[in-house]
Amino acid sequence: MNFRQLEVLKTLLATGSTIATAKSMGLSQSGVSRLLQQLESDLSLTLFARDKGRLIPTPEASILARDAEHILLGLNRFSGLAEDLRSGAAGPEVVRIGLPSSMWEEFAPAMLVEYAKDYPTVRIETFFETTTAITRLVEQQVIDFGFLRYEGEIGQGIDMEPVASGVSVCVIPESHPLAALAEITPRDLRNIPLILIGRQRPTRMLLDQTFKRAAVKQNVKIETHTNSSACAYVAHGLGIAIISSFYANLYRRLPVVQRPFTPVSKQEFGLAKPAGMPLSLAAQALVDALKRQIDLSQKI
C-alpha cells in the first residue's frame, strides 16, 4: 500500500468517477483503475461496487477514506517539514561554531550576514577561543564544528578537513624602512621592536628557535595573544609582527604591508567536527558560508 493508492481512494470519493480522478491527479484512467485494484488487493476489501461502469463506494471505503485523509495530511506536513529543513525555515534552533579570537572583528560578521539571508530563523552561537580550547569544545560536542590551526596531533574523537593555509609574514607599518624589502630575515629584525604572539605555543617556539639559529636576540616590545591585536599594534607604529599570512590577509584594510618572513614556515588550517557525527543541514550551510568567506578573505 502506498500514498498514491490512498490519494486515489480520497479523490474517487470526492469526484465519483475514474475520469475526474485521473484528470485531478494527472494520471490516465487505466492508471487510476490499476491503483484502486492494487489497494483493494492489499487490503483484501472491496471498496467500490461496479455497476454499468459506475463506481459506488462501499461503507468500508467511506470509513477508510477518513483515515486516508489524516494520513495524507500527515505526509504533506512531513514533506513540508523536509522542504523547510532544506531551506532553513526549520531545523536546529541553534548552530554552534568555534573560531579563533582573531576572526571576531570582520570575518565572522561578514560570514553571518551572508548565512542569515538563507537561514534567518537559525540562532548562531559563536565561541572565540584558542586552538586548544576549540579542540576541547569539539571533543566534548559543545559546538557543532570549529575552525582552527593544526598544532600537533588531532584526537581520535575529531574529524578534520583542511580548508586553508598560510605562510609566516612580517606585518610592517606602510612607512617603515623595512617595507622596502622584498622579504625579511631574522637579521633584518635585529634591534627592531617586535610584537609576538602565543608564548609557549608550538608556532611561537618554532619562531624563537629560528631567531636563535640566526644568532639574533629578539627585541620583544609587546606580547599578545590575538593576531588582530598584533596587526592593530603594528598599524599604530608600535613594532613589527610576525604572523601567518592567513590572518594578516584579514586586516589588509589597516595601514600595514606584508613581507614574507624567511626561512619559510607554513601553517595549515582546518575544520574540526566530532568524529562520526553528521552535521545538520543548517550547520553544513554555515560550514559552506565559512569556506566562501575564507576564499574571499584570502584573494589578493
> Who wins on pLDDT, 289 or 276?
289
Whether residue 200 has pLDDT greater than 90: no
Highest mean pLDDT among 92-106, 154-168, 239-253: 239-253
Q: Under a CB-based contact definition with an 8 Å cutoff, are residues 115 and 161 in contact? A: no
Averaged pLDDT, 231-238? 96
Which triple of cell numbers denotes residue 273?
567536527
pLDDT grade for 202, boundaries at 50, 70 and 90: confident
Whether residue 153 has pLDDT greater than 70: no
> Across the chain, where does the E strand assignment appear?
48-51, 54-57, 94-100, 123-129, 145-149, 158-173, 193-197, 219-224, 240-244, 256-260, 266-274
Average pLDDT value for the chain: 86
Which triple of cell numbers denotes residue 188?
633584518
Whether residue 39 has pLDDT greater than 80: no
pLDDT for residue 78: 66
Task: Supply angle C-alpha 14, 18, 21, rounded to 5.
Answer: 50
* pTM for this prediction: 0.68
